[in-house]
Amino acid sequence: MLIDFSFKNFMSFGDECRFDMLANSDKQHRESLIDDKYSRVRLIYGANASGKTSFIRAVAFVRWFIFNSNQLLENMPIPVVPFKFRHDAKNIPSEFALTFVMQGKKYHYAFSCTQERVIYEKLDIYNTAKPTNIFERTDTDTYEFKRDVRTLRDIVSKTTRNKLFLATSANWNYPLTKPVVEFLLNTLLPYSFNEQWQAHIAKIKADGQFEDYKKFCLKFFNNADISIEDFAIEEKKFKEMPKDPMLNSMVSLITQGKAELIEQIENSPVYNINIQHAVTDENTEGKYILNLQEESLGTIQMFELSPILYHVFQNGITFFVDEIDRSLHPILVRYIVSLFLDSEINVNNAQLIANTHDTNLLDLELLRRDEIWFTERDFKSGKTTIYPLTDFSPRKNENIEKAYILGRFGAIPFIKEN
């Protein structure tokens, strides 16, 4: 479970971004909180190009760097993207820090880096109210250890300047960092539509959870007023699917005639999904099958989202979604948000952090005031700032949607007159 996330000098965020899931003293909707302290939902609003996607990409970068750190060869660049509207952008480190709860214990991990090297890195564990430092790295090559000094010194020799010590030590099975890496990789999930869903289907089937997933999916659709009676997922190899000239051209472009790549793609699994609808016409009920690609774009989006949501709720994932309202009716988006807020459904304390333009969700009957955040980009400096609705001390009965559209909270586009 995420408690807070901060970063600096990344994409449009030139200055520090401080974001948290902490609940304030607001008495509204306390039943939706985790342990009466942490929120399950944060929705982020802002104009186009205000930095909402940059926020999601900051999380994605942290996860990518932890996952790929050990694969970087010496002197390979780190693909961090600093704030570029300054003359010395490449020389200023980008900074990232997370506080999170894993198995009931609090952790804090932070690092900074340029494209050439990791500058700073630190991991603290809170066995009590006071943090216990596991390691601290400064000026790239200077390390301080309070325990297991000989073991950790040996791991230092295996860490290059462009690698995270957290990832290297976990790779060498150091018991205090390995579970941290596994937790961060398995619990933080940045997501954009049309990504990852087939991989989740494959994992659900491999784990023998398909029937449970199917029940979840059918309930999910029927509660959302999408009439699906049943569905079947047929696994095929790519080469067994109907030929598509455009897709074949893309494969040729990607593989460039390399036999090994062509064989890999042709034997990769592809899921053909058929959906059954029960339709009554003149008192006669018929059952009809449509392929997923024949459904509406909104139904396709919901279906692609369903295995990810199943995974998120089953495993208590912190789920970051870029444009959650894409191609979905506002009522469906509200329904998805409400699933996260419902402690009887969301029993594993999954968290949703999403950006959106759907102002229908700006409703204090649904959300707490500390669950609404905004991004705004300064026209002169190009820098993004992020801030919560609570900075404006709105009244409990205030029409937040109307106030936002009227510009009271900023974070809206400024349309110039001709």
Q: What does the buried/exposed string (b/e) look like for 277-289 if buried means 16 or more CB atoms within 10 Å of the residue's CB?
A: beeeeeeeeeeee
Q: Where in the chain is the domain with CATH 3.40.50?
A: 1-192+322-418
Closest CA to 357 of 385, 381, 321: 321
Is residue 257 over pLDDT 80?
Answer: no
Closest CA to 10 of 92, 66, 73: 92
Q: Which two tokens stand for residue 7?
A: 């970063």
218-243 pLDDT per residue, tens: 888 888 777 788 888 888 776 766 66
53-98 pLDDT per residue, tens: 999 999 999 999 999 999 998 889 999 999 989 888 778 999 999 9
Q: Which two tokens stand for residue 234?
A: 């047929």
Is residue 196 over pLDDT 60?
Answer: yes
315-358 pLDDT per residue, tens: 999 999 998 887 678 888 999 999 999 999 999 999 999 999 99
Q: Report percent pLDDT > 70 for the chain.
A: 94
| Distance, C-alpha 401 to centroid of its chain | 25
Fold of 1-192+322-418: Rossmann fold (3.40.50)
56, 326 Cβ separation under 8 angstroms? no
Range from 67-71, 271-275, 285-289 that averages highest in pLDDT: 67-71
Q: Which two tokens stand for residue 398?
A: 């205030």
The residue among 194 and 402 whose pLDDT is bigger is 402
